[in-house]
Amino acid sequence: MDRRGSLVESQSGASPSPRNPLLCPDSHMDVQGYRWVYWRVWLCRWGAVLSLGLLLILFHWRPRLAVRARCCSCPLALADVLLLRDSFGQRYVVEVLTEDMEDSSMELVADLEDSDWRDTVQLHREEKTLLRYYLFEGLRYVWLARKGAFCRVSVLNEDWTCNDLYSFQRGLSHLEQSSRKKVYGPNLIDVPVKSYMRLLVEEVLNPFYMFQVFSITLWMVDKYYYYASCIFLISLLSISVSLYETRKQSTTLRSMAQLVTNVTIRRSSGEEECVSSVELVPGDCLLIPQEGLLLPCDAVLLAGECMVNESMLTGESVPILKTPLPAGEGRYSSQAQRRHTLFCGTQLIQARGGSSDGGGATAVVTSTGFFTAKGDLISSILHPQPINFSFYRDATKFLFFLGVVALIGTIYSLVVLSRSNATWTELVIRALDVVTIVVPPALPAAITTGTIYAQRRLKSQGVFCVSPPRINVCGKVSIFCFDKTGTLTEEGLDVWGVVQAGQAGFSELLPDPRLLPAGPMLSALACCHTVALLEGQPLGDPLELRMIQSTGWELIEPEGDQKALDAEFGGHRVLAVMRPPAQEVSVSEAGAIVRRFPFSSSLQRMSVVTVAPGGRPALAFIKGAPEMVASLSLRETVPEQFSSILRNFASEGFRVLALGYKPLDGKTDWRTLERGVVERDMQFLGLLVMKNMMKPESGEVINTLKLAQLRTVMVTGDNILTAVNVARNCGMMGSDERVMFVHATPQTAQSTPKLRFHLGEGGTQGTMEVLTEGLYQSGISYHLAVNGKSFSALCDYFPEYLPKVLMRATVYARMAPDQKTQLVKELQKLNYRVGMCGDGANDCGALRAADVGVSLSEAEASVASPFTSKSDNISCVPLLIREGRCSLVTSFSLFRYMALYSLIQFCSVLVLYTTNLGDLQFLFFDLVLVTLLAIVMGRGGPSEEVHPRRPSASLLAVPMVGGLFLHTSLIVLGQLAALFITKSQDWYVPLNSTKTGAANLPNLEDTSVFALSGYQYIIMAVVVTKGYPYKKPLYHNVVFLCILLILFAVMTWLVLCPGPVFSRLLQLNNIPDMNFKLLIVALAALNLLTCFVLELLIDHGLLSCRLLRGNRPSKKKYKQLDLLLSDCPSWPPLNQALSSAQYTVIGLS
């Protein structure tokens, strides 16, 4: 057996889940097994004692070392401890747990799980069955001997078919339920809330706080009592606030995540039993009351209908009607059957039609605990994926750079002090003191200040963020994807009219559906929907609400005695009744909906089965995308003008739906009728034409983004021509720009994969002009439009052309939710920073996959995406980009300031090599000057416009590192100038060579260096604080300006006339020469001027990489491709059939 194994991930049980393998394909984890070696364990314990606990601290920082020191490698089947490594390279250590299982109870589950999960070992010469498992991020992984790996426990039920689920309607026995609970664990989303003591220990063991403890100890030894005490109190206050906030957040998340309630389940004996939701296991038959409940698990609906509010998961505020799962041998998937799946954490508003009296509903539990949709989302908050952002990567690397500087300074101090009369103790203390100065432990906290300010500003404008580090990422977004309906256009649609189909073709557009004659078309408009009533008010898709309203028919649902209404319609179980207006009763008959097949984005259609009073006739109605409905209809019923009529309406921006119907045998059992049987051989009825109005803010926002040179694309499930029209109207495409349609066909038994490009209508030039002059191929004067089928074929058969299509495609139509997610990932492969804005429903996967996902939702903090905007339009997108850039620039400024602050103090200590700054001098610099300036420096808000150039995100770029070096050089020159000017004065008194360190205070060298370095702290705050074009000019930050002026005044007062009290307090030498003091002030002014001019030159490209390395191509793939396509006048080839390179190679071989 291998010592190294792979962790098999089963498919998640919830479609909105961000951890679904479809959304996170790189969920593979590498697992290594280790077994305890007890002599090693005892050796490590002795080592911990002898090292005074330092070994334990090292093991805490590097758990992998702890495992390898205490254990030896072994096969996974025998492991006590596992070392996990995820796809991001992060490592974790988990302990393997075991649980005794009773053979008698195991056999009850063995038939279902094929005995796959049992691991039999011999203990004390007795055969005992042990369940071996471990817990990671709340999920349970069990050992499967046949697979030779630890697998998610959900793998045991991932192969359930629809018929399997229906077989669970009988319920589980107590013994079955008990044995399943041992395997699956309790149904609990348990967010750990650590005690204050444990949080304190973990916080103190953080490397930065350990460094702080080391520094405070060193300062106390060096007799810096005041400074060490103040830093200790500040650190204590910081830790206290951090512990309180951490525990508060954990408690809040736990109260939101943990749901324990009483539910009713059915036992195998037929009895109904009320149990705690903690006891639920997959396979339990759940009885949902008529008034609904807050669902504590994932379940599939088998009987009745439920109105569900899923806003917590998807951000979609419109309740959704869930219908029973169709029976069949097909494998159940919550993604494919999401309209039949009830997700954990969603509010079931009402349930009906699931029992003999018409009330309630019946469902079967499919997932529990962290394997539910809510559990996965809570887990993604507790354990977020690392953000691949250069700013955060470079911050850690830069600390190592400062560490190297500290090492150089330490060596210099040792060499200089060894020549003096310093003792070995003083040598060590002074050398280590240099390290505490150069590496500021507050640096990581300081750079988050800009993000905190930005988050507050966003919240005040109705934009909520659940992942603050993403704010800085907003500043680097290079492409933004937008959903269409409800995002760019209004959610509601106005009925423009209907077009009936007949033997003679299509009729004229009829503006008012009420004028339709009684017949299938009018009945289809009235009945083909999933609208339901809640307290007498219709709820459902806005499109369907308008459709029903346009017919004037009334929706009635069973109330009270269900049997009476069933009897009126031939004894069929009635879900809803549509009755015509009173004046039309004599002409039109009421229709009772007895079966619904809800709309599916992947199927692009929905259907219903209705019966007339007395149970006759039975009709099936279908509604959906025109192309889909036409493909499911009898060819002779679809008019020849179908394509041209559809093209005309779609090109004018109308939303078009097609309707069809067919008679059914009235004796059919609707409960077992399969969808595929209903939705075939339909008779085409006609088209419903709806006008989708553009939101007034959309065009303005798109224009703003285009001026900022940010690419915008549309990703929609609507018709491609409608999408192109909306793209033109909102400004994604110019009126003079051409559109080319991409058609890619997959491989079939009769044909090979083909890719074609052809011109669409629009623009100013004729087709022949375009072909002969090639005007469409200059720059970005053409746009590609792709539908979902072609996109899938491109990904599967034409990967070599896919990047080029992605570079020029602006419209993606008829895209299913998983295709939207795939598109985002493909764009990220081209090194784009991708933003996605949608309504949070079908866009949930793409929103979470994007670098910046924005959900337009009324929910304050939906977990459907990192950002949630309460506004119903895309005006939040430029705001996010501006705030992101402002936050990123502020973080850069604070990082540079904290680094320069350390380097200024570092230079002061090295310049004053035989003495040092005083205790209260350090305190004055760190608290009064630096801390105060760092806090208010980030208060400046973002610029009012989005600049075409994005700010840099690399802390290790040449301008950044080179700028620090040059500024440090000027700082050193300034301090040396102050020192040499002091030594050149007639009244200069040399230092007492018999003393070192603070014992030499006050002295003239220290006083002059203190004066100039104090100015330098303030000067650097002015120099590194950036304004235009990403932030408002400096004068808008009034608080910062006032504090700057006050601190300049304080420093000038301390230099010119500090008075005896402050001179004694700060250990400053009273220099009577006013001309010398004015010279120090002038030197500070010169230092300000030189640093300011240097920063201006750096901003204007003094250290630009282009000047140093020439015009090298960008490392970003999309920029390389853009340059390649600009120089390629022959691409894309029009009206030519391109073959797949993969298929060609396979064919030749």
Contacts for 1062 with CB less than 8 Å, ≥ 6 apart: 1054, 1068
Instruction: State the Cα–Cα distance between residues 78 and 1, nearest whole angstrom.
Output: 10
Residues linked to residue 497 through DSSP beta bridges, in sequence order: 689
Q: For residue 673, which of 605, 603, 611, 594 has the smallest C-alpha distance?
A: 594
Q: DSSP letters of 823-861?
A: HHHHHHHTT--EEEEE-SSTTHHHHHHSSEEEEE-SSSS
Instruction: State the Cα–Cα distance between residues 256 and 99, nearest whole angstrom.
Output: 30
Neighbours of 915 (CB within 10 A): 22
User: Strand pairing of 119-123 and 298-303?
Assistant: unpaired
Q: For residue 656, which of 580, 558, 723 has the smallest C-alpha distance?
A: 723
Residue matched to tokens 């088209």: 687
- Cβ distance 712 to 732 under 8 Å? yes
- Cβ distance 969 to 1078 under 8 Å? no
Contacts for 705 with CB less than 8 Å, ≥ 6 apart: 480, 712, 877, 878, 881, 946
SS3 (DSSP) at 577: strand
Instruction: State the Cα–Cα distance between residues 432 and 63, nearest whole angstrom.
Output: 28
Q: Could you give the count of Cα atoms lying within 13 Å of 645 in the half-sphere of its Cβ?
A: 23
Helix residue ranges per DSSP H, 861-957: 876-911, 919-923, 932-937
Q: Length of the chain, please?
A: 1149
* φ, ψ for residue 598, nearest 5 deg: -65, 165
Distances in whole angstroms, Cα of residue 498 to Cα of each of 211, 513, 568, 882, 947: 74, 6, 31, 45, 46
- Cβ distance 262 to 193 under 8 Å? no
Residues linked to residue 35 through DSSP beta bridges, in sequence order: 72
Residues linked to residue 579 through DSSP beta bridges, in sequence order: 554
User: Maximum CA pair distance of the chain?
Assistant: 119
Provide the residue type at 130 as one letter: L
Provide the residue type at 693 as one letter: M
Distances in whole angstroms, Cα of residue 770 to Cα of each of 401, 808, 1005: 56, 17, 78
Residue matched to tokens 């009351």: 289
Instruction: State the Cα–Cα distance between residues 76 and 150, nearest whole angstrom.
Output: 8
Q: 373-382 and 225-257 are packed helices; what angle lies between their axes, rounded to 10 degrees?
A: 170
Rg (CA), the chain: 36
- Cβ distance 843 to 817 under 8 Å? yes
SS3 (DSSP) at 46: helix
Tokens at residue 60, please? 């805490």
Tokens at residue 1125, please? 């396509």
Contacts for 623 with CB less than 8 Å, ≥ 6 apart: 524, 528, 529, 605, 606, 607, 629, 657, 658, 659, 688
Which residues are annotated as catalytic? 483
Instruction: State the Cα–Cα distance between residues 910 and 420, nearest whole angstrom.
Output: 14
